[in-house]
Amino acid sequence: MKIKKKYFYNLIRILLGAVFIFSGITKIVNPLKFAQDILNYQIVSEIISFWIALILPWLELICGIFLITGILIRGSSFLISCMLFIFIFFVLSVLVRGEQIDCGCFGFISHKVSWTLLVQDSVLFLLSLVILISSIKNFKKG
């Protein structure tokens, strides 16, 4: 990997990891609020929203830490890509229905679902795919 590409790759990996660490921590501190945010999307049942609220923030935190430390990059970037794909689906469903709800993205400092959020999640999704594809290519080379 060329030096510029390697720095760019590492920058993306660290930034994406930091976003997910921050996101996970802000949700961990108040899982009931996060469960309500999930329920507001009107896609999953109440019991499922509670389970997601208990598990997802920890998964975000762990994947973020792994990305920053360089541990299990391929698996972490795959899980983050999957999460972002689902987040995009949830956001799109709210936008299509024309509802105004908190996104739940960053726990207690979340904002309303908007087209801007959809673009942000899409950019993060593309960045996570860059990390995933790069880690697969590097694995095949080694």
CB 132 within 8 A of CB 124: no
Cα distance between residue 133 and residue 77, in whole Å: 9
Confidence of residue 140 (pLDDT cuts 50, 70, 90): low
Confidence of residue 138 (pLDDT cuts 50, 70, 90): low
Residue 109 confidence (pLDDT): 80
pLDDT above 60 for 141: no
Specify the DSSP element, H or E, that contains 79.
Answer: helix 73-97
Rg (the chain; Cα; Å): 16
**DSSP code of residue 111:** -
Residue 3 confidence (pLDDT): 74
Q: What is the mean pLDDT of the chain?
A: 92
Cα distance between residue 78 and residue 83, in whole Å: 9
Confidence of residue 88 (pLDDT cuts 50, 70, 90): very high
Confidence of residue 113 (pLDDT cuts 50, 70, 90): very high
pTM above 0.85, yes or no: yes
What percent of the chain clears pLDDT 70, i.e. is strictly above it? Answer: 95
